[in-house]
Amino acid sequence: MPPENADLIGTGVTGLAAQLRSGALSSRDLVSASLERAAALDELNAHITLAEDAVKRADALDQQLAERGPVGPLHGIPLSVKDNYRTAGIRTTGGMGVLRDWTPDTDAAVVQRLTDAGAVIVGKTNMHEYSFGITSDNPHFGPVRNPLDPTRSAGGSSGGSGAAVAARIVPAAMGTDTGGSVRIPAAVCGAVGLKPTRDRLPLDGVLQVSYGFDVPGPITQDVTDSALLMHVLTSGETVAPSALPTDAAALRGVRIGIPVGDYWADNHPEVERVYREAAQRFADAGAELREVTVEHAEIGSETGFLIATPEAVVLVAELFRERGLGSIEQRLDDFGADVAALLRSQIGADASPVPAHEYLDAINETVPAIRRGYLTALSDVDVLLTPTAPAPAIPLAETGQMQHNGRSVDPFPTFVRYTFGLSVIGLPAISVPAGTTSDGLPVGVQLVGAHHAESTLLRLARAFEHTSD
């Protein structure tokens, strides 16, 4: 694999878009480089399917540019999307074996917005089966491997998107985030992952896991590219890349909330170190660090599981009926062990389904209480700063049970500790690379803002990037 292809894709969306418009690059060359790099790094298993007509579309976009036709902000840029987005003419599996032969005839709304802006979809990224996990150790299509250490997980459920961006197969990719599924892969792969406010982006054409938690979100190499994709996807409602800070001075006087209490203390020692160093970088740039208490944060994840698990059963059953695949009860054996166990907890002879009154109480009472806790904490600061995940990427051998601070634990609830609660209440958050462990594994930190504060998060995250070499 020519090393210059990695350098080329590593230029990022914003830089590549400028070179394409100037004629320094052609879309054909760029898309071909992306596909060649995907083939060369096949061991990462970042994609389930590569688009057969990607080069043909690139040629058409090159011709359009040559004829001085209208071009969009993503004109000719190769992007990948998670395999739970419907894509016309490209198979969509949702990471499920039962859908391995399904090719939709329409695009998801987010995919349509990307292609309307000129993007070339080069592939569908591998993922945790049915988005219902955080390891992307897929039983049907194989595990996604972390580009920084292929013996380790790339996180999930959007693991393929995180790996494809970190490995410079594509300059950016779309994931979806139900409880951390954009932010966690970004953190453990060394990329930027943005979870927008709930309802900020459309879910039409996404194979959903939850009615209320799912959101589309970009995974990018840097914050500028995240801002560009969000600016495109929101039709200009969020900050333009040109308006982002050009140095760390934008952090002066910004109030950064540091959550305190036992709940925030169970971090891998090196994650804790990087997190503290990141907080100090904010302070050194002139930000004010304030300790805050987040009431009810400790029940965010368990509330998320209580609500999302029965919703996932209903949604996958609806999908199966739509596709003529029979009842979910008949197809449980077609799922991998971990997802099947979650589904069986709600249906079947040995099920202990969530009682209706507990589900309704969680939505009507517990979720508002968690929301009040976070919003109260945010009322006296501009953003909260937390670790994105309490541990770095785990070995693929530990995707069933992981070792964490001297004990054996389930990776799923462990990794969503700081992310799921924000999905439950719909707040936006962005994970940015903050450093590495002593053996070179990436560690991300998460900035959390009030509803529809994506522009603020992007500005502060970009300023934080300027604090590092």
Catalytic residue list contains 157: yes
Cβ neighbors of 350 (< 8 A, separation 6 or more) are 344
The answer to whether residues 133 and 157 touch, using CB atoms and an 8 Å cutoff, is: yes
* C-alpha torsion sign, points 9, 10, 13, 16: negative
Catalytic residue among 181, 423, 431, 455: 181
The answer to whether residues 452 and 206 touch, using CB atoms and an 8 Å cutoff, is: no
User: What is the bridge-based pairing of β-strands 255-259 and 288-292?
Assistant: parallel
φ, ψ of residue 418 in degrees (nearest 5) = -105, 0
Catalytic residue list contains 124: no
The answer to whether residues 107 and 96 touch, using CB atoms and an 8 Å cutoff, is: no
- Alpha-carbon gap, residue 339 to 102, rounded angstroms: 20
The answer to whether residues 443 and 270 touch, using CB atoms and an 8 Å cutoff, is: yes
The answer to whether residues 24 and 39 touch, using CB atoms and an 8 Å cutoff, is: no
Report the 3 state secondary structure along 293-353. CCCCHHHHHHHHHHHHHHHHHHHHHHHHHHHCCCCCHHHHHHCCHHHHHHHHCCCCCCCCC
For residues 56-81, b (16+ Cβ closer than 10 Å) or e, as one string? ebbeebbebbeeeeebbbbbbbbbbb
- Alpha-carbon gap, residue 461 to 9, rounded angstroms: 22
Catalytic residue list contains 34: no
Sort 247 into a burial class: Cβ within 10 Å, 0-12 / 13-18 / 19+.
exposed
Catalytic residue among 26, 27, 34, 82: 82
The three-state secondary structure class of 425 is helix
Q: What letter would DSSP give residue 364?
A: I
Catalytic residue among 80, 157, 301, 431: 157
Q: Which amino acids are annotated catalytic?
A: 82, 157, 181
